[in-house]
Amino acid sequence: MGIQLNSEFCGLPCRVLMNKAPPMARAEDRLIEVTRKLMGEDYEALIVYEDQDPIGLITNKDIMRWLIETEDKASLLVKDLVSVPLITVDIDTPLNDALGVMRKYGIGCLGVQEHRTVRGLVTEEGIREFCETYPHYLRQYSS
């Protein structure tokens, strides 16, 4: 978790870089079915809901670990792998502060909420990739 943002990007809000349509699953879904559904999609994590409330995340790393370690893949449910609680930041939280929360908890992904509703995800990898690929866009946004 060693990403350092250029000072001109530090104050940009999470809304600029969040994934606005992260995949979702219900806690009672079978993990194998969720994984099949997500094949071919570009995602780093999915939000897990229980009774219509977001409770946590499952990352690609969690799913890879499951593939290697689990004997009975058909019976595993999403709730068996979910990392709880879902750690969130406000949609207007500066990127630098969001990275600080990720470092504090040793995670690479945060929920982004607006008025207590999860609106998306922001990831350390996504921030790094965007800053390296589109610095001209960030400069324009911050002006």
- Domains annotated on the chain, with CATH: 8-142 (3.10.580.10)
84 close to 55: Cβ distance less than 8 angstroms: yes
Helix H segments across the chain?
A: 7-10, 31-38, 60-69, 95-105, 124-133, 135-142
Q: Which amino acid is at 141?
A: Y
Q: Whole-angstrom Cα distance, residue 1 to residue 84?
A: 20
pLDDT in tens, the chain (143 residues): 456 666 667 778 999 888 888 889 999 999 888 888 888 787 888 999 999 899 999 988 888 888 888 888 888 899 988 989 999 999 999 998 999 999 999 999 999 999 989 999 999 888 888 777 766 655 555 55
